[in-house]
Every structure is written in structure tokens, then in C-alpha cells.
Structure 1
Amino acid sequence: MSLTRHEIREKAFQALFALNANPDADENQLFQQLLNPEEADAVEIPAYLSTLVTGVREHQAELDAQIQPYLSQTWSLDRLAKTDLIILRMAFFELQFVDDVPTKVAVNEAIELTKAFSDDRSRKFVSGVLGKVVKNQAN
């Protein structure tokens, strides 16, 4: 099974969302369910899927600390929709830790994930936050 990076990001989002609800779940078993729900046979887990999920989980506190300044003063991470927070964590992780993902790609992929898994208000919110990040990187 060969997945595009976009499809891998979708699977990573689904895994991170499930792990947010059940942090003690077995990652590999979850990956198998996401990649191959019909089959009993194990499939090879794409390296980038593991990189995204493991990286976001390992750097979660650091990523959250980086996201917080981009929220308005009246908002906290706890008030964000879980989908938006997970997508922002993924985008910030790719921007900071994945050298072969250009900034434009990380931002666009985050917006595409928001379109697929959230609503239009969330898309605008995620786009606004990431737009500020890009502007700050340019300065």
C-alpha cells in the first residue's frame, strides 16, 4: 500500500485524534486499523506516518507553547476545538522539525486537513494562525 504524503497526513491526524481521546492506546495497532481496516494481515507502516505521530506526541508541550502566542489573549489552548489544535500541532511540527517540507506545503496541508475534518470557521482560524506564523518567519 503506497500512500501520498497528503494521505499519510490524514492518517496521522486520525491517529493523533484517537490518541488524544485514548493516550494509552497502542500506536502500532492503531496504525494497522487506520491503514488496513479490512485485513487481519499487518501492513508496513509508512515511516512518515510514524514520524508525524511520534514527533507531535513527543514535542506536544513544546508545540503547544509555540502555538499559544498566536492565540488572542482571551483564548487558551483548552478552548480550541481538538481538531484545530491537533492540526496546528502537526503544522508546527512540520514547520520546525521536518526539513524537506516547505513552509507553503505545511500550511496548505494543514488547511486541507481542516477542510476535511472541521468546518469553515476552523479553516479560517487555522489559516489565520498559520498566516501569522509565516509572516513572523519572513521578518
Structure 2
Amino acid sequence: MKINRHQIRESAFQVLFAKNANKDGNLVDIKDQVLEQYDTTEQDTQYLNYLIDGVLEHEDDLKAQISSKLKKGWSITRLTNPDLIILELGTFELTDQNDTPDNVVINESIELAKTFADDNSRKFINGVLSKIADEH
């Protein structure tokens, strides 16, 4: 099956979630396992790597940006792993130089939340990413 951008984002989430759960896991093996159901092109793999590597390389900065948009009294440690990973992916795409419009990034993040988080997470993720998008 051919992969689309939404499925690439889902795959990036799955790889980052698995890596977070198993810090010693081999990133290449995790990616291969997640992608085995798709027919991917070099361009697809590059975009997946762009998302994964971008989040991993800028994790501290992304967390700082997310933390600055949380309600007073909230800390990033209060977030569930799925919420945090979705926010990191969305924040990376919003703040990095790419051609994806902000509203698409936010909508894609909400779709990830529908699949991997709960109903409350969708509104929360929308709010945080909208604040980040307003600054960039």
C-alpha cells in the first residue's frame, strides 16, 4: 500500500513512541517495522526521517516551547506520552522551515490525537499548537 503524508506522520508518531518506551531500541529497526506495511519512495522515507530526526535533535527546545504555552501551574511532566509526542511533532513542523501550512500541521496533529489520545487531548493539542503557530 502506498503511503501518504498523514500515514507518514502516524508512522513518525509510532516510531517516536516506541523509541520513548524503549530507549535502547534500534531506531532503524523500529522504523523498518513501522513501515513494513507500506510501499515507500525515497521521498517518503526522507520526510519520515525529517520528522523523527527533527524531534529527536531538537527535543529540549521543543519541550521548552511547549512548556511556555501550558496553563499556569502545569508542567510538561503532567502530559501523557502520546500528547507530548504529538505536540513535539506539531511544534517541530510549525517552527521548522517547511512548506506545510500551519492549519494543516494543526489539523494533522488533531487527527493523530483522535487516533492515539483521548477526546480532551484534541482540544488541548489544538490550543497549544495554535499559540505556537501565532508566534511563528
* Same fold, judged at TM 0.5 (above): yes
Instruction: Give the CA deviation at 1:21.
Output: 1.0
What is the aligned length? 132
Equivalent AA in structure 2 for residue 69 of structure 1: S
Equivalent AA in structure 2 for residue 16 of structure 1: L
Unaligned runs of 5+ in 2: none
1:111 maps to 110
Instruction: Give the CA deviation at 1:98.
Output: 4.1
Distance 1:127 1:57 in 2: 22
TM-score in terms of structure 1 length: 0.88
Instruction: Give the CA deviation at 1:73.
Output: 1.8
Distance 1:13 1:62 in 2: 18
Quote the sequence identity (%): 48
Unaligned runs of 5+ in 1: 38-42
Instruction: Give the CA deviation at 1:131.
Output: 2.3
1:27 maps to 27
Residue 65 of structure 1 pairs with residue 64 of structure 2: yes
Deviations along 1:71-98, one digit per CA (max 9) or x if unpaired, are 0121111110110000000001001114
1:51 maps to 50
Q: Based on CA coordinates, which of the two structures has the bigger radius of gyration?
A: 1
Q: CA RMSD in A?
A: 1.7
Distance 1:98 1:135 in 2: 15
